[in-house]
Each structure stands twice: as structure tokens, then as C-alpha cells.
Amino acid sequence: MRLLISRHLENFLALYDARNMHLAAQKKGISQPALSKSLKVLEESLGATLFERTHRGLEPTSCCTGMHAQ
């Protein structure tokens, strides 16, 4: 399992708050592809999907909600 670095966790929090990839990337001052890659690394490290991608943005999964609560 890859070491989860604080950048990935900070990006996760920005995504959770914004529920939108574009808005979270703007808030973090990074590109959308970089944020998407960070999310992918985090999801692969955890072995779980954190967000369902919908036409309205990102919907947190139960795993995501549980992780955010901690």
C-alpha cells in the first residue's frame, strides 16, 4: 500500500467540500487532471471508490463519508 501523503488527504477534503472536480481544483490552485490523479492514487491505496461521478458532480460513497468523519 502506498504511503498516503498529506497532499492527497488535503485534496480529498477539497473534493468533499466542493463536490465538484473543477471547483476543488480551482480552490487548491492545481489542474483538474492533477486533482483527478491524486484522487485515483488515494482510491487505489484504500482499495475503495470514494466518489461516484455524476452529471451534477461528485457524490460521496459511504466509504468516503466514513473517512471524512474520522
Q: What is the DSSP letter of 56?
A: T
CA end-to-end span of the chain: 20
Residue-wise pLDDT for 2-47, tens only, equals 566 889 999 999 999 999 999 999 999 999 999 999 999 999 988 9
Q: What is the mean pLDDT of residues 47-53?
A: 94
Domain positions in the chain: 6-69
Give alpha helix (H) positions in 1-70: 6-18, 21-28, 32-46, 62-69
The CATH code that applies to domain 6-69 is 1.10.10.10
Q: What is the predicted pLDDT for the residue at 5? A: 83
pLDDT confidence band for 1 (50 / 70 / 90): very low
